[in-house]
Amino acid sequence: MLRILLLIFIFSLNLFSFQLEDWYKQNSGVVSRLNSVYFINNSTGWVCGHGGTILKTTNRGSNWMLMQSGTNRDLNSIYFITPSIGYVCGNSIILKSTDGGSTWMQTYYEDGKVFNKVIFIDVNIGFAVGNGGYIIKTTDAGGSWYNVASPENRNLMDIYFVDKALGWICGLFGVVLHTTDTGETWNKVNTGSIRDLFSVHFVDKDNGWVSGYRNIILATTNGGQNWELAYTQGTSTLFSIFFNDLNRGWAVGNEGFIYYTSDKGKSWDKVPNISGRFLFDIFFVGDYGWAVGDAGTIYHNRLASSLNETISDTYNIFYDFNNRGLIINSSLVLKFSEIYIYDLYGQKVCNFELSQQYLNHAFIKLENIANGIYFYQLIGNGNIYKGKFIIP
C-alpha cells in the first residue's frame, strides 16, 4: 500500500513538472558548439556557433538549415533587426546579412579582438562588446564602426538595451556598466559582487537581472541603483538569463541545467538535467523558447499557457495491448509531425517521426518498452499536445 501511495505521489509530482518543464530536443544537424540563438518571431530564427556555424529555421526549429557564413572563425552572438537584416560577431569579425542569413559579408575586422555580443537598437544603431573592455558602435547599419570609451578593461560578455537610450553591459569580475545616452558614455555600477557575469536582461527601465559564475543571479527593481542576491546555489555557471515578462524568467548554464522562476526571480526551480551538455544561450518570443549549447544541442519549449487545450476534446491516445502500440484517433483531420515519449521520471524513452500527412487515425508501434506510466508530447498543427498513457 505504501508503495502505491508513493507511486501516486511521484506520478502527481512529475505530471506537474512535466507540464512546467516541457523542453524537447531539436535536430540541429551539426555537432559544433552553439553559442547564441535569436528569433525575429515565433517561427523564424537563427543560431550561431564555433567554426563559422550559422543555422536558420522558418518553422520553429522543426528543421534547421545550415547557412554559408563564409568563415570558419568561432561566432559568439547573432542578432536580426528585421527578417532580412542581421549581424553576427565572433573572433576578430562582425558579419552582416541582408537576405535573411543566406549570405554574409564582413562589415568589421580587427585581428586579435574577440567580440562576445552584438545588438542593434534600430536599423542603423548597433553595438558590439568584447574582451579587454572593448565597446564599438555603428550609426550607419554597420557601414563603419567606432570605439566608445570604456571605463573597464575586463572582458565584456553581454549588452542589452531597454530602449534607445538606456543600456546595460555586464562582464567578468562583477562588471556592470550603464548608459543613458544611447551608448555614447558608459558608467560603472556597483552590484556588490565580484563574480564573473555573463548575461544581463531587463524587462523595463526598473527591473533587471544579471547571471554568472557559481550560479549567481542578481536583481534590481530600481533601475540598477540597488542590486540584491536572488540566487546563488551550486557551483556551476549561468551563461544566459531571459525573462518573458516581469514574473517569468529562465536561466541556463553548465551541464544542461535550466532554471525557472515565476515570482520575479525571488525563487528559482531547476529543470532536471535534460542534456548533459553546457547550454550557453536561451531566448523566448512570447511563450516560445529555445536554448542552445555544446555539440549542436538545441532545446525548444512552448509554455503551457500558449497551448491549444481545447484540442484534447477532438483526439485521444491509448495503448493497444494486443498490438503493442499507441493508437491516435481524432474527430478532426490533423497534421502530426512527431511524438516524444517520457517515463515517470521525465527521461525521454523514445521519439518517432510521423508521416506529416493529414490524418485522423495513426498507429505507433512500441517495442522493448517496459510496463508503466508514460507521458507523451504529440507535435503538429502548430501545437504541442500532451498527456499520459499506461502500458499494463
Give the residue from 287, 302, 317 where a domain finishes. 302
Residue 19 included in any domain = no
The answer to whether residue 313 is domain-embedded is yes
Task: Let me know if residue 228 belongs to a domain.
Answer: yes
- In this structure, the answer to whether residues 57 and 173 fall within a common structural domain is yes
Q: CA-to-CA distance for 189 and 171, rounded, in angstroms?
A: 12
Angstrom distance (rounded) from CA 316 to CA 313 = 8
In this predicted structure, what is the pLDDT of residue 325? Answer: 81
Instruction: Examine the fold and report which residue of 302, 328, 354 is the final residue of a domain before the chain moves on.
Output: 302
Can you tell me the distance from the alpha carbon of 226 to that of 221, in angstroms, rounded to the nearest whole number? 8
| Domain annotation covers residue 34 | yes
CATH number at residue 371: 2.60.40.3080
In a domain, 318, yes or no: yes
Whether 16 is covered by a domain: the verdict is no
Shared domain check, 81 and 203: yes
pLDDT of 269? 83
Residue recorded with cell 563574480: 195
Inside any domain, residue 13: no
Which among 259, 284, 302 is the end of a domain? 302
Grid cell in block for residue 180: 543613458
Q: What's the number of domains the chain is made of?
A: 2
Containing 20, the helix (H) or strand (E) segment is: helix 2-20
223 in the same domain as 293:
yes
Q: Specify whether 145 is located in the same domain as 176.
A: yes
For residue 144, give the C-alpha cell.
Answer: 563603419
Per-residue pLDDT of the chain (392 residues; tens, 9 = 90+): 434 333 333 343 343 344 344 788 899 999 999 999 999 998 999 999 999 999 999 999 989 999 999 999 999 999 999 999 999 999 999 999 999 999 999 999 999 999 999 999 999 999 999 999 999 999 999 999 999 999 999 999 999 999 999 999 999 999 999 999 999 999 999 999 999 999 999 999 999 999 999 999 999 999 999 999 998 887 889 999 999 889 889 999 987 788 888 889 988 888 765 667 899 999 999 888 999 999 999 999 876 443 333 344 456 777 777 778 877 776 555 556 677 787 765 667 887 776 554 455 677 888 788 888 787 877 765 566 777 778 87
In angstroms, what CA-CA distances link 95 with 213, 324, 390? 29, 53, 52
Q: Are residues 281 and 134 in the same domain?
A: yes
Whether residue 168 sits in one domain with residue 40: yes
Per-residue confidence (pLDDT) for residue 344, from 0 to 100: 64
- For residue 208, what is the domain's CATH number? 2.130.10.10
Give the residue from 141, 154, 149, 145 showing the smallest Cα distance to 179: 149
Do 172 and 273 have their domain in common?
yes
Are 28 and 82 part of one and the same domain? yes
Looking at the fold, whether 257 and 342 belong to one and the same domain comes out as no
Q: Residue 312's domain spans which residues?
A: 2-7+307-391
> Same structural domain for residues 320 and 291?
no
Number of alpha carbons in the 13 Å side-chain half-sphere of residue 60: 19
Report the side by side order of strands in the sheet with 156-161: 156-161, 167-171, 176-179, 187-188
Model pTM score: 0.76
Task: Dig out the grid coordinates for 110 from the structure.
Answer: 580587427
Same domain assignment for residues 41 and 152:
yes
Whether residue 231 sits in one domain with residue 124 = yes
Q: Is residue 18 part of a domain?
A: no
Give residue 302's region: left, alpha or beta (phi > 0; psi -120 to 50). Answer: beta
pLDDT of residue 13: 39
